Amino acid sequence: MAGGVYIDQGQARHYDGNVTAFVLVTCFVAAMGGLLFGYDLGITGGVTSMEPFLAKFFPSVYRQMKAGLHENKHENTYCKFDNEILTLFTSSLYIAALVASFFASATTRILGRKPSMFSGGLFFLAGALLNGFAVNIAMLIIGRVLLGFGVGYCNQSVPVYLSEMAPAKIRGALNMGFQMMITIGILIANLINYGTAKYKHGWRISLGLGAVPAFLLCLGSLFLSDTPNSMIERGKHEEAKAMLIKIRGTENVDDELQDLIDASEEAKLVEHPWKNISQPKYRPQITFCSCIPFFQQLTGINVIMFYAPVLFKTLGFGAQASLMSAVITGVVNVGATFVSILTVDKFGRRILFLEGGVQMLVCQVAVGVMIALKFGVSGQGSFSKVEADVLLVLICAYVAAYAWSWGPLGWLVPSEICPLEIRSAGQAVNVAVNMFFTFIIAQIFLLMLCHLKFGLFFFFAGFVLIMTIFVALLLPETKNVPIEEMHLVWKSHWFWGKIVPASSRMASPNVLGYNNRKP
């Protein structure tokens, strides 16, 4: 292949090179960041259902749970766990992550991806140790805030790192690999909770064990190399070339290097990414970068991820059965994410979104009806063994639907629709909106369960209906569309075609690092 470059039917440039072992090892270490995020998402649910933990830090919740009564005289099951400090323990992480992601984006740009990942690892390590050794609520909450900083730093830098290190042909799979690591982290957390719950200090092991992957991430990121893109951004062109040769496993990297340099030069001309993104021609991007993370959280998934054991206990499952149920939903989450990775480039994004939406809707309505019939408004009742099994199957079907639709696509679609000149702003909006609504759901779920009762499931079902219609009407298919041709997708869309000014083009192909120089 002359010059190591060819142009395919879609006019996207392909570079020479292989998937080297060096890239795979590097990406594995970096993906620890996803695993840590998942671990923190999954660990609190089980811990907050452990009695020794509640007795030590939240004695009033413990008493009301034991008595089956709520201190505010809501004498019903739905309110057993409603306590603001208990929810603050879960949700403080996400507000800290939101704040940190803004600092992280500056660190990542100015100092490189590696220092960001290292800082993320250190925050995780400190947070996990503080939580594991906590003797009072302050240590718990400060530990959670530090973990939140870790999430902010890693969620900002790891996806960028992975997509810059990866050869273009496996970029999509690696992007989804990050979500896969999140779900594996959640599952590991569920398993550890299941194992430690029987011990008096089991919660310390659950919270403290997060230090192990955090330590690996710190150690690993000391040895990781920074990405060629980041080196170029910081003016180190020679080092960038040497790195490209190493990660692509070929000397033939001049075209890719030149494109990276061009893209970086053009990006420097973009003085105001925030002003840029508010231009009319970027209306579709700003709409999806804010609506997709909002809707992702309004599927209600984190009710299951954070509070499954508490929810199952509320519905009358025993302590071990509740933790086991969380493990089962965790396994379904990992498996269905894998289904998404296998099908997304074959069947496309829309079909996964639409099928997932309908399946989630049906399951949520069914769960709501079952709980309404059994517990009613008074909250008195319990499920038989068969009913409990049916409920678990419905919840698993809901988790599966989420995990092959809004889970991975919630991160993939916003990242692939933004041209370079608005990519950092678009990604910042996406992460910030996601963290904000993760925080809101974590903070108000127990309160909502107490007041909306079984209606909570209809509340989320209503949002799933809206988001499914939103996708059906407004999201064009982006499967196999080269990034530099994405503007055609908006122009030919029945709605966006009217909104995006006819004269607008996306940035020149050069800006996107895919210039069309002849081979």
Residues of the shown chain interacting with ligand BGC in the complex, contacts defined by CB under 6 A: 41, 179, 182-183, 186, 301-302, 305, 333, 407, 410, 434, 438
Measured on CA atoms in the order 433, 436, 441, 444, is the torsion positive or negative? negative
The nearer residue to ligand BGC, 116 or 302, going by C-beta atoms, is 302
Residues 292/298/302/307 CA torsion (nearest 10 deg): 170
Cα 507 → chain centroid: 28
| Inter-CA distances, 203 with 57, 94, 131, 152, 477, Å | 12, 21, 9, 24, 45
Opening angle at CA 428, ends 422 and 433, nearest 5: 125
In whole angstroms, the minimum distance from the beta carbon of 420 to ligand BGC comes to: 24
In whole angstroms, the minimum distance from the beta carbon of 330 to ligand BGC comes to: 9
Measured on CA atoms in the order 109, 113, 118, 124, is the torsion positive or negative? positive
In whole angstroms, the minimum distance from the beta carbon of 407 to ligand BGC comes to: 4
Q: What is the DSSP letter of 81?
A: T
The nearer residue to ligand BGC, 118 or 306, going by C-beta atoms, is 306
In whole angstroms, the minimum distance from the beta carbon of 195 to ligand BGC comes to: 21
**Which residue, chain included where needed, has tokens 């009407």?**
473
User: Residue 321, class by beta-carbon neighbours within 10 Å (0-12 exposed, 13-18 middle, 19+ buried)?
Assistant: middle
In whole angstroms, the minimum distance from the beta carbon of 242 to ligand BGC comes to: 35
The nearer residue to ligand BGC, 187 or 392, going by C-beta atoms, is 187
| Residue 28: partners with Cβ closer than 8 Å, 6 or more residues away | none
The nearer residue to ligand BGC, 203 or 404, going by C-beta atoms, is 404
Cβ atoms of residues 180 and 334 within 8 Å: yes
The nearer residue to ligand BGC, 88 or 168, going by C-beta atoms, is 88
Cβ atoms of residues 155 and 33 within 8 Å: yes
The nearer residue to ligand BGC, 353 or 514, going by C-beta atoms, is 353
Q: Among candidates 63, 144, 45, 127, which has minimal Cα distance to 445?
A: 45
Q: List the structure tokens of 433.
A: 């909106």
Which residue number is nearest to ligand BGC in terms of Cβ? 305
In whole angstroms, the minimum distance from the beta carbon of 297 to ligand BGC comes to: 6
Q: List the structure tokens of 9.
A: 């039917």
Q: Rounded to whole angstroms, how far apart are CA atoms 235 and 233? A: 6
In whole angstroms, the minimum distance from the beta carbon of 38 to ligand BGC comes to: 7
The nearer residue to ligand BGC, 208 or 410, going by C-beta atoms, is 410
The nearer residue to ligand BGC, 23 or 417, going by C-beta atoms, is 417
In whole angstroms, the minimum distance from the beta carbon of 289 to ligand BGC comes to: 14
